[in-house]
Structure 1
Amino acid sequence: MQSSMPVPEDLVGCRFDVAVSKLRNISRSKASDFISKGSVRIANRKANKSALLLSSDEIIFDDLVGEDFAENSCKNDALQDESQQKNLQNIQIDIQIDNQIDNQIDNQIDNQIENLQDNQQNNQIELQLQNQAIEQSMKIAYKDEDIVVVDKPIGMAAHQAQGWCGPTVGEALEKRGISISHTAGDENRRGIVSRLDAGTSGLMLVCRTDLAYEEMKKQFANHTVKKTYHALVQGDLTQNKATIEAPIGRAKVSDFRFTITPNGKPAVTHWDVLERFGQATLASVNLETGRTHQIRVHFTSIGHPLVGDSMYGANPVLAKKLGLTRQWLHSMELIFTHPRTGKVIRVESNYPSDLQHALEAMRELSK
């Protein structure tokens, strides 16, 4: 005699021995023993104890499979419906728990996305306010119909470039209603004949007319424009005045750094000592040429990087003592011949507050 039953829904995918153990309320080892003897089997296919049950399977039980099994079978046949009901209840509980967990995870993800969007929006607003503050801090040092000289703050680029999302001199001028030459120069450098790094403050000349652009471009190319910077360099310069003449080119190790290289463009820097502090020296610097990072690269090449210039190896400890977060470099004076009138124009600037504070702190340290 034998009996059979379809695989209960809650046991589909379950191991054969585990299912038999649950259905007959016997130990798993006892169930495995019955399966190996063939006393419990699956109709129409061979299945060992580790076989996974299919919904189409039918389980066959022999009635006379031993005393223990017979007793348990009698007991469990009566309790089979109750056991299956409990199993279904457990499955429903598991499903409810899974749904609750899924809902919690979905809510957490939604909250994270919402917080991220809020943070991005807040960051965008903060960036806009910061850019506006930088634009508003830009001063007009000189202006006529052909030329405008701005006193550029740090955090502002001369013109748009790849990867730059901050304010630019050209955009800041246009927002103030000050027109610049739009037909002279590259698309992103309209009216720009010389520039300052975003981290360098001070005077910068911009052309408002095509006439001014063409004439000033010649003056800068012929090195007739006098550009004077003040730079605080690390260490004690051994001479009171000197000239650094060394070609500058892009460094192989970085797209942003420049270095002294035989294949670089000619570069000439003249400097005079203004004040000595032992750990640092304040120098007046005149550029004959206008290479990118020229002052920074030239002083680094003689072992005296600008204070605060981490890109070129400055000591961060000294910069921290001075409360400095950028290179100590400021464009102090521009002297040029006016492109229309031929008059000599001289424009001067003062130190911004961060450089003034750092200089005063340097004086205190040197006492």
Structure 2
Amino acid sequence: MTGEQRSLPVPDGLDGMRMDQAVSRLFGLSRTVAADLIENGGALVNGVTKQKADKVAGGAWLEVTLPPPPAPPTIVVENVEGLRVVFADDDIVAVDKPVGVAAHPSPGWTGPTVIGGLAAMGHRISTSGAAERQGVVHRLDVGTTGIMVVAKSEHAYTALKRAFKEREVDKRYHAVVQGHLDPFSGTIDAPIDRHPQHDYRFAVMSGGKPSVTHYDTLEAFPAASLVDVHLETGRTHQIRVHFSAMRHPCVGDLQYGADPTLAARLGLSRQWLHARQLSFVHPTTLEQVTFVSEYPSDLAHALELLRDVQ
């Protein structure tokens, strides 16, 4: 399928910029998509194909064949190994999410999802929200395990979305971070935005969204610390970004600068980060409910190894 044809002069403000950066900036594409487009001959400057690292000149005529829009992701109904329902009624379902499972379908993700797994179990989910993430009021990263709640009724969806937005939901995570935090308990208040150079990563950025993380050290080991984390906001990768910016990345989180040697010694193939507890007012009974998740085997094993070297 042929994409849309677009052409325009290169603005003077982009003079001297790399070709992939310029195409990314002008057409709102990720750097990866822009680079692929250029390498496949989908971008011409004054009628000539260029390499992604070539520099563009202000005023040059740029012609681009934009890729067709991706098909909207669809929910695949399938049994998800390890996905466990902790609580369910007519309004909500709380699940213990295993590693390697996304909250909902998204472009490029072909693995299992919480929504698909719940559908396979026979749970009817709220139809509010985009088609591929109906009922989803908050998310956990694919590599993060633990408690997650999904709305089953439209009333619950509206009430829980508001509660998360108004910061009325108590979200507690446990993380093992490298080194020892100074102070042992504190608050990280640093805005977060997409990383300017790396797709799928985020970073502390001066113009980012306000992001606040509270933490308390629960246990200190020679090489790392177990911390209880209370999220005031809920940005993508917030805990991972904040502790990485403090130079105490989550153990095993190679994407955000963790030590691969320590990760290998502990047998970790992902970040030591677990959604431990979720507390909120039930949308119908108006009673406070709390759901807790125990550590999965890989995180528990890594913690035992850290304690053994005391």
Taking the TM superposition and a 5 Å limit, the aligned residue runs for 1:1-367 are: 135-182=80-127, 184-365=128-309, 367=310
Query: Partners of 1:188 and 1:246 in 2: how far apart?
Result: 31
Supply the distance in 2 between the matched residues of 1:360 and 1:165 (Cα, whole angstroms): 33
- d(CA) in 1 for partners of 2:272 and 2:171? 17
> Displacement, 1:306?
0.3
2:150 maps to amino acid: V
**C-alpha distance 252-303 of structure 1, shift in aligned 2 (>3 A):** same
Per-residue deviation, 1:357: 0.3
Aligned counterparts of 2:244 and 2:78: Cα–Cα separation in 1: 32
CA distance in 2, matches of 1:233, 1:309: 9
**What letter is aligned with 1:135?**
V
Tell me how far apart the structure 1 counterparts of residues 270 and 233 of structure 2 sit (CA, whole Å).
Answer: 23
Q: Which has the higher helix share?
A: 1
User: Kindly tell me: are residues 160 and 142 of structure 1, through their superposed partners in 2, closer, same or farther at Cα, counting changes over 3 Å?
Assistant: same
Q: CA deviation at 1:186?
A: 1.2
Q: TM-score, normalised by structure 2?
A: 0.74
Task: Name the SS of the counterpart of 2:81 in structure 1.
Answer: helix
Question: In terms of mean alpha carbon deviation, does 233-242 or 331-340 score higher?
Answer: 233-242
For residues 186 and 133 of structure 1, the distance between their equivalents in structure 2, rounded to whole angstroms, comes to: 20
Q: In structure 2, what residue type is equivalent to 1:345? A: V
In structure 2, how many angstroms separate the alpha carbons of the residues matched to 1:210 and 1:269?
A: 30
How far did 1:240 drift? 2.1
Matched AA of 1:263: G
Shift of 1:134: 7.7
Greater shift, 260-269 or 131-140, is seen at: 131-140
Q: What is the CA-CA distance between 1:189 and the residue it aligns to?
A: 1.2
1:185 deviates by 0.7
Which AA in structure 1 matches 2:223?
Q
Structure 1 residue 132: Cα displacement: 10
Please report how far the alpha carbon of residue 133 of structure 1 lies from its aligned counterpart in structure 2 after TM superposition. Answer: 10
What is the root-mean-square deviation in Å for CA atoms of aligned residues? 1.4
C-alpha separation in 1, matches of 2:209 and 2:145: 24
Letter in 2 for 1:313: G
Aligned partner letter, 1:165 = T
Instruction: Tell me how far 1:239 sits from its aligned partner.
Output: 1.7
Q: Identity of aligned pairs, percent?
A: 50
Conserved 8 A contact 1:323-1:358: yes
- For the 8 Å contact 1:338–1:344, the answer to whether it is kept is yes
> CA offsets per residue over residues 19-43 of structure 1, 9 Å max, x none?
xxxxxxxxxxxxxxxxxxxxxxxxx
Contact preservation (8 Å) 2:78, 2:117: no
**Structure 2 unaligned residues grouped into runs of 5+:** 1-75
- Corresponding residue of 2:38: none
More strand by share: 2
Q: Give the partner amino acid of 1:181.
A: S
CA distance in structure 1 between the partners assigned to 2:286 and 2:77 by the alignment:
36
Q: Distance in 2 between matches of 1:134 and 1:191?
A: 18
1:278 deviation in Å? 2.0
Cα separation, partners in 2 of 1:134 and 1:232, compared to 1, 3 Å: farther
- Say which SS state the counterpart of residue 335 (structure 1) adopts: strand
Could you tell me whether the CA contact under 8 Å between 2:77 and 2:120 is conserved in 1? no
Q: Distance in 1 between matches of 2:260 and 2:303?
A: 16
Whether the 8 Å CA contact 2:79–2:120 is kept in 1: the answer is no
Contact conserved, 1:134 with 1:156, CA < 8 A, in 2?
Answer: no
CA distance 1:308–1:273, change in 2 (3 Å) = same
The DSSP-based 3-state class of the residue aligned with 1:167 is coil
Q: Which amino acid aligns with 2:101?
A: M
User: What is the DSSP-based 3-state SS (H/G/I as helix, E as strand, rest coil) of the residue aligned with 2:291?
Assistant: strand
